[in-house]
Structure 1
């Protein structure tokens, strides 16, 4: 069984295919360029209202004009997080984050299909924005003060919290002293990695490139537990019924769309898209995407976070 799990995961983790340069701009997949992993981030929650973003508008600035001239929006996404950004049975990218990318691209271009997806590891989300590899990152990325020093964020589009995922029957009871001496896996560059570095409870940290790598290692018996966003962990538990969330969430975190700090017009445009995406209550595009992708694995979410703005 462990070997079968490993082979399945290896197939999912293949890099996305390279798109031909100068293509038509239709939705396509491209290979992520190789880079060195960035250093782990440390907690820094001292800024005021980190979830507050620029007020929305639909005006075209330099960033929007550049994207239109290129003929497509380049989005950094995941292909390994079940129900968020993953390959569906038809082999297509699908999930809650992918639905949001499509809505942003359609607002900018007025039609579907103008997206190029780049699969990027957790640790390379910021560097991909800073070097211009992608225009946006929509990849279950938590807004926090440390990251705001390097990139800009939209308003929050989902609320999550860090929690422990462990095999059913494990003696691990949550983010507490039961972690002592246990091998605990996190994704490099994630807020989970930062949290474990700040308070390990005697755990032995194991860092990997992507969240799915943690699940594979857990299945193979190479680690004893995982710390990740409970929204992601719920998808992993749905993939493997032998694991479960334990304890309670020990943080409150908000996902945002990340962009280059110099792309203020794009930030405002994405916030306009999110305003429309949230509108309509139970019939909103946000709720439709939630029902389509997340409700089966993460039930009970009543709606999106209330946006916060600054001038």
Structure 2
């Protein structure tokens, strides 16, 4: 029923007019969330001290980053105890999320109260239920793509659940849970475009990516290595992925490169665009936390073990089956491995 209401609300949308409404709603609702704080290099607040040299060495030498996490445990440690000791209205899990990613973390204007909802939001509620005994004991903070790691290091949030890809470079700054979703980079472009995928048809085209995203890193590396035509323009970067779709609709860029799971949701918002070609990377989303919050990492991994068998599929069916297909096997991560020992 809920999915049908969303479809009805979006039916016929497309082009600049549609996104003007979406962006206006996003701008309105961002005022309802706490302001994103400023970056502090001293790591004040929840962030604690900076990353130790030994941790940097381990991250720099990492392989299979999705496996570089701690074994699961239900035990409470200092990090979790500090959260549980919050009192009154402050006794909540503080989580950085997106509010503009359709079906992942967004506000549906068709629903009363327009509460945040989506696949990532379901996972946040499960984590809050396990740690604090209340799925709604959450303070959501809207965090742009390029602010995800600073928000953790500065202590503005306890964790980030925001379609965040696990990779070795990010492991220098934050810790990740085991993967909870599998995806890959894809190209999104108008249906009428001559672009056919991540190939030579991108030559001379303007590509939009989110700042600090794995998409931009991949494009930049491939251009420098000669795997991508030198004429491809990757200078357009934006704070949030939804901004790329707006740029595409305004004709300011020719294509968007982002995670296929996000690109499929953007295509669902605008019937004039489509995915071009197959995914050209394999990536895994994880919950990001402080590098020294070992007890939290272990606890989230324990939660994910249960969630994989009871909750994950129901959430996929509700939010993602309409855009990614009823068969969820391509989106399920492999059985977790826990190679990090300290």
TM-score normalised by L of structure 2: 0.81
Give 2:328's match in structure 1, choosing from 284, 301, 305: 301
Structure (1 or 2) with the greater strand fraction: 1
Taking structure 1 as the reference length, the TM-score comes to 0.89
User: Do structure 1's residue 177 and structure 2's residue 200 form an aligned pair?
Assistant: yes
Question: Which residue of structure 2 lines up, in the alignment, with residue 25 of structure 1?
Answer: none
The residue correspondences of 1:116-195 to structure 2 (distance < 5 A) are 116-195=139-218
- Once residues 291 and 25 of structure 2 are traced to their aligned partners in structure 1, the CA distance between those partners, rounded to angstroms, is 32
- Greater shift after overlay, 7-16 or 213-222? 7-16
The answer on 1:211 being equivalent to 2:241 is yes
Q: Offset at 1:231? A: 0.3
C-alpha distance 34-242 of structure 1, shift in aligned 2 (>3 A): farther
Matched, 1:49 2:64: yes
Shift of 1:111: 1.8
Q: 1:6 to 1:83 in 2, by over 3 A?
A: closer
Query: Does 1:67 pair with 2:83?
Result: yes
Instruction: Tell me if the contact between 2:205 and 2:233 (Cα under 8 Å) persists in the aligned partners.
Output: yes
CA distance in structure 2 between the aligned counterparts of 1:115 and 1:57, rounded to whole angstroms: 22
Could you tell me how far 1:103 is from its partner in structure 2?
Answer: 0.3
Can you give the 5+ residue segments of structure 2 that lack an aligned partner in the other structure? Answer: 1-13, 41-58, 224-228
Q: Which residue of the other structure, out of 224, 229, 233, is the alignment partner of 2:259? A: 229
Three-state SS of the structure 2 residue aligned to 1:75 is: strand
Deviation, 1:51, is 1.0
The superposition leaves residues 75-108 of structure 1 with CA deviations (integer Å, 9 ceiling, x where unpaired) of 0000111110111122110000000000001100
Q: In 2, Cα distance between the equivalents of 1:265 and 1:12?
A: 38
Number of the residue aligned with 2:7: none
Distance in structure 2 (CA, Å) of the matches to 1:6 and 1:103: 31
Is the 8 Å Cα contact of residues 5 and 219 (structure 1) preserved in structure 2? no
Residue 252 (structure 1) aligned with residue 282 (structure 2): yes
Find the residue that maps to 1:277 and give its secondary structure: helix
SS of residue in 2 equivalent to 1:233:
helix
Count of aligned pairs = 290
Partner of 1:106: 129
- For the pair shown, the structure with the greater C-alpha radius of gyration is 2
* 1:33 shift after superposition: 2.8
- Aligned residues of 2:60 and 2:172 also touching (Cα < 8 A): no
**1:9 and 1:216 in contact (8 A); partners too:** no
Structure with greater helix percent = 2
CA RMSD of superposed structures (Å)? 1.8
User: What is the match of residue 299 of structure 2?
Assistant: 269
CA shift digits 1:36-68 (9 cap, x unpaired) = 9xxxxxxx9962221121111111111101111
**Does residue 1:86 correspond to 2:112, yes or no?**
no
Partner SS state of residue 308, structure 1: coil
1:271, 1:152 → 2: CA distance?
Answer: 12
1:288 correspondence with 2:308: no
* SS of structure 1 residue aligned to 2:193: coil
Please say if residues 140 and 256 of structure 1, whose CA atoms lie closer than 8 Å, have aligned partners that are also in contact.
yes
Structure 1 unaligned residues grouped into runs of 5+: 19-28, 37-43
Is the Cα contact below 8 Å between 2:205 and 2:232 reproduced in 1? yes
